[in-house]
Amino acid sequence: MFACVQTLPAQSGRLLDRRRNALPALVRVDPPAGAPFFRLEVPVRRGRALPFAAMEQAAGRLRTRMLFPEGITPPPTPVARSAAQSQLEPGLRAFQPKRLPLLLCLRAAQHALRTAGVPARELRVTVVDTKGALSHAMELLVPLAGSLRVYTPDFSLYRAAAARLLHRYGATLILSDSAGCFAQSHVVVADDLRLFTGREQGLIFTPDTETSLQGCRVVRCHLPQLPEAYAKLCPAGIDPLLFASALYELCGVKEMERLRFGHYAFDGVSQSYTAQDLARILEKDIKNREALVRK
């Protein structure tokens, strides 16, 4: 479960208004499938600061799994070493996705690989996954790459996945802890751009919005298209990807795995691209590399 902050206008003036002096309150919401989540409704009078202390009290145990509208930032809190410790530390904490954004990037890369008119045996694909978030999803890439590699600092996160792919498909999943292993890949799905040098040649699909990377073609994925039933439940100002991630990771709404991004952009380029555009770019890139090799 989690809680989304939703501010409500509290009227001022001489007329009696029930919400004028009301405290923040949790309202249960039941999605079509999965566990419930809550809206934390916060009455706010114009010009007044948000009552963060009252919000924390009303949120209870959900205070460590909060979604905030754009423009609202809770007071800073100490960095918790674990989820258990975060429950003991005071303060409101924003929910941080761990799996869904990277999984949707993998699915976007999967679509580009499948659509590009290039034999799979010629494709080199690397997953950069420092936390093991995609270890359950590597089957999506098996028929689409002649060389499939994972960069991870902890091989134990992917040993079971490597054994599974070998047993089921006879496919070899190469594990590496060398940051240079993805330099020549045609497609990279990465959770952390800080590992890159700027000399990587392929298309890099990433949910990392904090790190800028010059010299590479970094694909930024934007605005997943929520099913109508869930779009109606997403409070105003809440990022749709963040909302979908909370539904998937905290409420078990598996339907979020099938989301598709509305459009894509490359760093430093103002133009938006479609999934079909990415496939054509990938196809052209591979043919250009082949031409250089023949020379």
Domains of the chain plus CATH, in order, are: 3-88 (no CATH), 100-225+260-294 (3.40.50)
Q: What pLDDT, on the 0 to 100 scale, is given for residue 247? A: 98
Is the pLDDT reported for residue 146 higher than 70? yes
Is the pLDDT reported for residue 1 higher than 60? yes
CB atoms within 10 A of CB 185: 24
Is the pLDDT reported for residue 16 higher than 50? no
**Listed residue (220, 180, 191, 181) closest to 203, CA to CA:** 220
77 pLDDT band, cuts 50/70/90, is confident
Strand-pair partners of 103: none
215 pLDDT band, cuts 50/70/90, is confident
Q: Which of 103-112, 135-144, 203-212 has the lowest mean pLDDT?
A: 203-212
pLDDT (tens digit, 9 = 90+) per residue, 223-271?
Answer: 788 999 999 999 999 999 999 999 999 999 999 999 999 889 898 787 8
Q: What pLDDT, on the 0 to 100 scale, is given for residue 148? A: 96
CB atoms within 10 A of CB 182: 26
Q: What pLDDT, on the 0 to 100 scale, is given for residue 176? A: 95
Is the pLDDT reported for residue 24 higher than 60? yes
Q: What pLDDT, on the 0 to 100 scale, is given for residue 293? A: 61
Mean pLDDT rounded to a whole number for the chain: 89
How far is residue 29's CA from residue 39's CA, in Å, rounded to a whole number? 7
User: Tokens for 106?
Assistant: 């993998």
How far is residue 265's CA from residue 234's CA, in Å, rounded to a whole number? 24
Is the pLDDT reported for residue 14 higher than 50? no
Looking up tokens 């460590």 gives 64
Residue percentage of the chain with pLDDT more than 70: 91
295 to 5, 92, 254, 286: CA distances (angstroms): 59, 59, 48, 15
Residue 274 CA to its chain's centroid (Å):
19
Is pTM beyond 0.85 here?
Answer: yes
**Listed residue (272, 274, 224, 266) closest to 248, CA to CA:** 224
Q: What pLDDT, on the 0 to 100 scale, is given for residue 118? A: 84
Which residues neighbour 186 within 8 Å (Cβ) at sequence distance 6 or greater?
123, 124, 125, 201, 202, 203, 282, 285, 286, 289
How far is residue 225's CA from residue 101's CA, in Å, rounded to a whole number? 13
287 to 116, 216, 280: CA distances (angstroms): 11, 18, 11
Q: What pLDDT, on the 0 to 100 scale, is given for residue 263? A: 87
15 pLDDT band, cuts 50/70/90, is very low
